[in-house]
Structure 1
């Protein structure tokens, strides 16, 4: 059953998230540039995380090697994961991860899951946001979902595969508003950027995406936000109402972190843990984080791994409700 509790992904996560500790420094150091992979096209949440952290690491003088952002789109992340899985033990490759690393394998769209990779660190949490074109007739999320009830052909786009993060988020909101989730016309695009392009072109009625990655598009005036999935209005987007304000009892949190190939050396993991902790204590990070509306939610490699196992259990039930889980 779709409930507020089922979809509040970061609620359990925050229980295990405390103040950033001091990592044990590693003697290991990278000896070549880091392949820093966003498993999607430019413009989405993974891409934003990779490019933002790469920039801050460089500007703050923390990284001893260049972190080179690389986009590998396809399959909601599956194409990139297949390539990364082949780099067993490589300490110079890392990638952005979020709920799709759990959801896509559960739906049968990837043979690789989170257990095939090395958790490095969870960094932030974010919220999803429901967007329409500025000239859309829908003035609220409640109005949009009423229109979808009357006309199920109306589509909502997202930058992740069916059964993945964007789909789960909008399906949960729709269910809370009285729309049968399995009948929601969700259109999957290869990344947030492509989803935005199709929204602006009038090919979908709305788009669901991360609030952080939508900030720049909203400033351009071509798009309008109907709702954010936070429990209360976000400081970075104070004009955007929550679903709860509109009588839709729904919240949804989007965590994001960094993972590496299978069997990444423990010394390399320790080095990167320490690097990210130091990055998150800088003014450059605080400025970027606040501009994007992110919330610090650091976890070490071990904590992140345990959290991912919990997400697997939680999302197995969610996909079952959508009829999308494959065993």
Structure 2
């Protein structure tokens, strides 16, 4: 396979530390009355008894899994009395992002991640992640390239070579347009020698708002390959319904330890999908600090540790300014990558 570009995108996520109780209380600033949010000012005591968690995608995908696992961890460790989850899917999470911009409840957390960062750019979203309040970065997960069980392709090299030859006649499915799955698809083509300017016409990418849709296309033989987080396809790979050709991490994935990495196969690409949490953009400093403390307490709890192990997610927690700095860098890197593979100008 000809290699013309060398691309490495690495993101590391780590969750922090704190203690929790049935209702988490933060004594902030002057210790007077509860703050009302909106201008970042005002002091007082912020108590969080319940949290609304939003998955900005349809059920079945990684955002939905993360939202529900996090909400269950909150209640399992008795950090809040309730943590209802809702799904607001569409346009790579930007429909949910627009909804968050009008949210009046400061105790609202939305799952975000690399997919949304890309979708904001490709959809030219009016509401950007920069308009929200970053809370924490939670997990990191490698992607996996899969094909239907009866596919003639046994290796990633076989598949990509055929893909370059057939171009748009081969369909590849994954998450939202402009998201990390779409980016990896473009990188595989440019790494194989396709000029970045030709990627938009060569790449027949079928985007989906939830992991369940991509799986349906794959199992129905309607596409030649799929790209998504390891956790979304691992069960079908283990059952023999899909064949995994390669994972996108430095090391083999915990859920698919026998599947080679792209670098093992001579393709110099390392990409991981991060997920985290954001809140409405107009909450006060005290409300932000209380959410950060709550999320940190959840991260340190037994329930979340079990979630990480069960799903094969890498614990990569960043909170506060560390997460804000990471997010700023990731947005810049994603913009540059999308331009390189011709998805934005």
Q: Same fold (TM over 0.5)?
A: yes
Report what 2:153 is aligned to.
138
Pick closer, same or farther for the CA change 1:301–1:200 going to 2, 3 Å: same
Please give the secondary structure, in 1, of the residue aligned with 2:261. Answer: coil
Counterpart pick for 1:4 among 4, 7, 21: 7
* Distance in 2 of aligned mates of 1:45 and 1:193: 10
* Distance in 2 of aligned mates of 1:74 and 1:249: 32
Pick closer, same or farther for the CA change 1:165–1:216 going to 2, 3 Å: same
- Spell out, residue by residue over 1:174-220, the C-alpha distance to the aligned partner (whole angstroms, 9 max, x if none): 32233445122211112211111111111111111011232333333
Report what 1:53 is aligned to.
70
Please give the secondary structure, in 2, of the residue aligned with 1:239. Answer: coil
Report what 2:334 is aligned to.
315
Answering whether residue 245 of structure 2 is matched by residue 226 of structure 1, we say: yes
* Distance in 2 of aligned mates of 1:167 and 1:35: 29
Report what 1:238 is aligned to.
257
Answering whether residue 57 of structure 2 is matched by residue 40 of structure 1, we say: yes
Q: CA deviation at 1:234?
A: 2.0
- Contact 2:25–2:48 (CA under 8 A) maintained in structure 1: no
Counterpart pick for 2:83 among 67, 76, 97: 67
* Distance in 2 of aligned mates of 1:2 and 1:52: 37
Pick closer, same or farther for the CA change 1:185–1:93 going to 2, 3 Å: same
- Contact 1:2–1:318 (CA under 8 A) maintained in structure 2: no
What does residue range 191-230 of structure 1 map to in structure 2 within 5 Å? 191-230=210-249
Please give the secondary structure, in 1, of the residue aligned with 2:300. Answer: coil
Moved over 6 A (4+): none
Please give the secondary structure, in 1, of the residue aligned with 2:338. Answer: helix
* Distance in 2 of aligned mates of 1:144 and 1:180: 18
* Distance in 2 of aligned mates of 1:26 and 1:65: 17
Pick closer, same or farther for the CA change 1:179–1:196 going to 2, 3 Å: farther
Answering whether residue 190 of structure 2 is matched by residue 175 of structure 1, we say: yes
Please give the secondary structure, in 2, of the residue aligned with 1:236. Answer: coil
Report what 1:79 is aligned to.
95
* Distance in 2 of aligned mates of 1:219 and 1:59: 29
- Contact 1:157–1:189 (CA under 8 A) maintained in structure 2: yes
Q: CA deviation at 1:320?
A: 0.9
Answering whether residue 123 of structure 2 is matched by residue 108 of structure 1, we say: yes
Please give the secondary structure, in 1, of the residue aligned with 2:141. Answer: strand
Please give the secondary structure, in 2, of the residue aligned with 1:105. Answer: helix
Report what 1:99 is aligned to.
114
Give the number of equivalent residue pairs. Answer: 315
- Contact 2:173–2:208 (CA under 8 A) maintained in structure 1: yes
Please give the secondary structure, in 2, of the residue aligned with 1:233. Answer: coil
Pick closer, same or farther for the CA change 1:292–1:268 going to 2, 3 Å: same
What does residue range 8-23 of structure 1 map to in structure 2 within 5 Å? 8-10=9-11, 13=12, 20-22=16-18
- Unaligned residue ranges in structure 2 (runs of 5+): 28-45
Answering whether residue 281 of structure 2 is matched by residue 281 of structure 1, we say: no
Please give the secondary structure, in 2, of the residue aligned with 1:255. Answer: strand
- Contact 1:129–1:211 (CA under 8 A) maintained in structure 2: yes
TM-score by length of 1: 0.89
- Contact 2:230–2:253 (CA under 8 A) maintained in structure 1: no
* Distance in 2 of aligned mates of 1:206 and 1:189: 14
What does residue range 285-300 of structure 1 map to in structure 2 within 5 Å? 285-300=304-319
